């Protein structure tokens, strides 16, 4: 059961440059609208689901 659902973060989209760093692809957006459209496109391209962390950061997760 434990590893039945393998998930990983394939990308991160944010409007706050200082909030995200690290080894995953990060996309910076100027405003909320751009963040949503980038997240939507990325999700379509990599077959992932965009999740809202609630602090101006979206992550695209592979389920």
State the nearest-atom distance from the C-beta of 16 to another protein, in Å: 15
Binding mask 24-63 for another protein (x = CB under 8 A): ------------x--xx--xx--xxxxxx-x---x---xx
The beta-carbon contacts of 12-19 under 8 Å, at least 24 apart in sequence, are 12/57, 12/58, 12/59, 12/60, 13/38, 13/39, 13/42, 13/50, 13/57, 13/58, 13/59, 13/60, 14/56, 14/57, 14/58, 15/56, 16/55, 16/56, 16/57, 19/55, 19/56, 19/57
Using CB under 8 A, list all residues that contact another protein: 1, 4, 36, 39-40, 43-44, 47-52, 54, 58, 62-63
């Amino acid at each position: 059961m434990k590893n039945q659902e393998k998930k990983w973060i394939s990308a991160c989209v944010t409007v706050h440059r200082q909030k995200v760093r690290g080894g995953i692809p990060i996309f910076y957006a100027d405003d909320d609208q751009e963040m949503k459209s980038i997240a939507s496109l990325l999700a379509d391209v990599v077959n992932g689901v965009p999740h809202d962390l609630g602090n101006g950061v979206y992550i695209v997760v592979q389920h």
